Copies of this chain bind each other. A is one copy, B any other.
């Protein structure tokens, strides 16, 4: 496998995908075309609008960026893709749409066979065993919560630690993930904004500026240092 699985597309004070430029320059090197999957539709953007945004963010690569919706047959579009980018937005919507077009199996097959993959946010969540550690609102109902399972654990994207000064009484991320693990025997990585997982062959490495948090059922969460292999 050959994947960049990023917590977010955009970090504070920076433009879309800007912080990932160095790693993406290598990741997509030698590939003439990136297939973009805009199904997660952040803020309800249309597929065309979102694809234009991805195109703009990847301009520095000098490759062609095409939206999967521009192809008559999305299964063939994935089968024939040189490299793939699944953008963020709403994970429920992304998973529902991938299921409706029956794209999960072909996307998994394509990634496992080594096609360069970039996921951000929702596009990273789907790399886990299921989407049940998403932060998103259930704006649509997918057929199931199962996802690609190319990682042997789940992702919590946009992870952040509780603000000790907060007066908000809604659940923290830690509480939510521990609740998830009361009902699901699945490990979870909390990936902070600016961090990503780099998957090369059989290795998975934490990259970026910030530590991550590793949750196992019935155990105290552990800090994972940058550059650790998982």
Contact = CB atoms under 8 A, between A and B. Distances in A.
A189 to B, nearest CB: 15
Contacts of A48: none
B144 A179 contact: no
Interface string A7-29: 01011110000000000000000
B175 A168 contact: no
A175 B177 CA distance: 23
Interface string A61-95: 00000000000000000000000000001101100
A102 B125 CA distance: 32
A153 interface: no
Given A44-B178, A179-B44, A182-B44, A169 B193 contact: yes
Contacts of A176: 136-137, 139
A171 interface: yes
A137 B179 CA distance: 9
Interface stretch (A49-57, A106-114, A126-134): A126-134
A214 interface: no
Contacts of A167: 12-13
Most buried by B among A140, A145, A175, A179: A179
B137 A131 contact: no
Contacts of A184: 139
B138 A141 contact: no
Contacts of A132: 137-140
Nearest to A92: B138
Interface of A: 8, 10-13, 41-44, 89-90, 92-93, 131-141, 144-145, 157-158, 160, 167-171, 175-180, 182-184, 193
